[in-house]
Chain A
């Protein structure tokens, strides 16, 4: 297949001029992990109203806005370091090497996979379609047609302060998010609510906690700190250690 590179500048994005530095000699690294658990009753995800394309109807796509595991683990909570526009951060050699590895955003059984895509500015992104039907992948700032079993290459070179919604206009029930940052320190919680970010330069760091339903998660107890209205809290990463935030409780009432 003929593949052409094209570059997207995020119109929504704040020009986070915070720079990453490849100079790693001075930095020492630590990690952060934790688990999000919903406290209280939440409705089970309901089937979406799908009227278009027999394939999608037969796939019975679910509403993935709030995915809660059996023991309350909350998936797709996004955790990432907030970098001010003048801030700099060192990048661990492992990450530096990964910058050229494409991130894949696939269409599978009329869902976006992954539901939340994490990508660094300048990192190649492959938009894919594993379905037998056509899709389009629309981030507002760009919108590409992805034929069945086809793919398209792209790259985003402006970070955005929060995840950007992604949709498919052919199948309006499909919904996903893409987070673009100038650094690699970001994660989305998995099916059982856990997340881990490795090799963070040690020191005091501000993290943003976000989920698509409420947006920034405020008033969360995170280690010693509590998140503010922007879902931000300060965490101290120690050299050679993994800081385990343990269970971070999210009241069901906020959804």
Chain B
């Protein structure tokens, strides 16, 4: 008896916490829904129209581009505190504070080319995506925007110091003479210094690599990166923001900056400001060149290339007869596309090798995914367990929204499969003889209630864990037969379930020999925009992917994701 009571109390407590959390989610979610339904009813029928509206204000200024693509992570003010930042590790750069990692000048200030290079390549080893799909002009505008943030940051630093150490008042600071002094300071700390001339670097030879290894040992790279270069050198380390970091494992082929010889040479010369990675100004050019050869010899060109997130073309093959069996013959004739994913919360070797295949018969789209996952995690009902899952994010339109779950103006359509929902375990299965949930808002069934209102029992939904359900909490299983779930999202943290009648995705998964195979299918046409993006043969939509690995406690925002890809639907 006592045991049961304790469990009940524990469960009640947990439910309470869940409800509070859920409430917040639900409010966010219903705001989104209101926005979606109130704002642009006509847009729903004509997704292209919604697009026109957006592009009516041409997104040309750096400020707008920044707000659209970057602010979600880097923050509206460029201070690194975007809405998604709590989910990210390493943390997004605080542009105001500087401390840019990838610099090619002696005073730690990046050149425009340095920043352009980051935007083109992203930063493998972190969630910073590449932005190759933007034009050079757009990226230039973004570079201006970053510099503006940094200038504002430097200005504030100096003004604060004038106040703190020189007792200047706001009026005194406003004086022209002082303003000029501030400008001078800002100029000095935002203008790149001189850059070393990189000698010509020839192809590696076995001598140069061997000599590079000697330099590696002699100069003490070994103290951090370890005797074999696998990052096994030392204890815990922290960066200047007091976040944990670790010396790179060179065998992974992951380089935040370009691994090409010349930029790598400069990185070794100048180190990575803001991290423990030191510069090596006392090395001779010959030693540096050999070191470059040695570091590069620890990974292959293929590994280095693969580490970069890229945009791929996924072609949905038009077929006469659909098949959605895991091993249907048709799959052997459709080329799988490998899409690189990166964990939002970085850990080495966590990028699932997601392979995607797509077919359609003009009426239904079938997607098949496979990826490696050593452990089967299909129970999420217990608070301490987490499940494996995969999601597809779809968007139709020219200007793709924020990668992390779209934006309020540009919501995305999400197809979700999770191992737990497939097995239909419930809280009661996991914890027999406990009360399942509490409903603090209403005990009565309300015939016409809005599905998204928390705490109201309606006839068109299952009466289980109601508030959690209402907000689209993923750990609460809906007893749908489909195994798949349709979600809508209008920005990070705003994921909501489609109405039951708009749940049109079916999905199933199989785990065998350390590999998941998941097949999803959905009618291509949608009856209303509530059902998601309409898929038309001969057209193209933007598609992105996310994978959750239960063994690493992935859930919600903690996952691995891809950048936007193209899904081309064969006519």
Contacts and interface: CB of A to CB of B under 8 A. Distances in A.
B237 to A, nearest CB: 5
The contact size tier of chain A is 35 or more
Given A9-B188, A152-B282, A170-B224, A145 B219 contact: yes
Given A11-B108, A11-B189, A170-B223, A136 B278 contact: yes
B166 to A, nearest CB: 6
Contacts of A135: 220
A150 B189 CA distance: 30
A66 to B, nearest CB: 23
B331 interface: no
Given A7-B106, A8-B107, A144 B280 contact: yes
B220 A133 contact: yes
B370 to A, nearest CB: 41
A14 B161 contact: yes
A172 B280 CA distance: 19
A7 B107 contact: yes
A41 B284 CA distance: 51
Contacts of B234: 52, 170
B281 A144 contact: yes
A134 interface: yes
A206 to B, nearest CB: 12
Given A6-B106, A151-B282, A84 B166 contact: yes
B240 interface: yes
B235 A51 contact: yes
Interface string A63-101: 000000000000000000000110000000000000000
Nearest to A11: B189
Nearest to A135: B220
Contacts of A170: 220, 223-224, 233-234
Contacts of B220: 133-136, 145-148, 170
B276 A138 contact: yes
A150 B278 contact: no
Contacts of B189: 9, 11
A241 to B, nearest CB: 30
A14 B162 CA distance: 8
B472 interface: no
Contact of B276 (A52, A84, A136, A230): A136
A197 to B, nearest CB: 21
A251 interface: no
A133 B223 CA distance: 8
A15 B184 contact: yes
Contacts of B519: none
Contacts of B236: 172
B282 A150 contact: yes
Contact of B278 (A2, A84, A144): A144
A133 B219 CA distance: 9
Interface string B184-203: 11001100010010000000
A134 B222 contact: yes
A199 interface: no
A26 to B, nearest CB: 26
B282 A4 contact: yes
B362 interface: no
A45 interface: no
B281 A6 contact: yes
A137 B184 CA distance: 29
Interface string B215-256: 000111111100000000111110010000000000000000
Given A9-B107, A161-B165, A169-B276, A143 B281 contact: no
B223 A134 contact: yes
18 contacts: A2-B283, A7-B106, A9-B193, A15-B181, A15-B185, A52-B234, A84-B166, A85-B162, A140-B240, A144-B279, A145-B220, A150-B282, A161-B161, A161-B165, A169-B224, A169-B276, A170-B224, A170-B233
- A-B complex: 6 closest residue pairs judged by Cβ atoms: A134-B220, A169-B276, A2-B284, A152-B282, A136-B278, A145-B278
Interface of A: 1-4, 6-9, 11, 14-15, 17, 51-53, 84-85, 133-138, 140-148, 150-154, 161, 169-170, 172, 230
Given A2-B283, A8-B107, A141-B108, 13 more contacts: A2-B282, A4-B196, A7-B193, A14-B161, A15-B181, A15-B185, A138-B278, A143-B273, A145-B221, A151-B282, A161-B161, A170-B224, A172-B237
